[in-house]
Amino acid sequence: MQRLIDAFFNSVRAFRKLAVSEKAFQQELMLLALALPLGWFVSISWRGYALLIGAVLLLIMVEVLNTGIEAACDAFSREFNVDIQLAKDCGSLAVLISVIIVAGVWGIAIIERITGLPI
């Protein structure tokens, strides 16, 4: 049980650090704050609402992992290294893919709401 408690406090520490210092994380938290009420009006079901919020949470999770990759790479070396560049670029690509997923999920939900037809 102590490991779970310690893990929770480690997670809270990471959340605070990212919320204070990482612009992308701050932007995604703002997106989540907007998505929570907006998703209620856009979705046509509880499942749809969960999918809308889950997509934004997925984006935040991938951003956290990308930040971790960048921090680990920077801790190893700040000098240019082709392998470190690839690791950072892959993390960035993962964030981009997550943004595309969010846009697609929200786009489909908005179309469903406007047309009244489930897609």
List residues with catalytic annotation.
Answer: 63
How far is Cα 54 from Cα 102, in angstroms, rounded to an integer?
A: 9
Give which of 65, 47, 32, 63 is closest to 109, Cα–Cα. Answer: 47
CB-based contacts of 99, cutoff 8 Å, min separation 6 = 59
How far is Cα 26 from Cα 12, in angstroms, rounded to an integer?
A: 15
Place of tokens 């779970």: 4
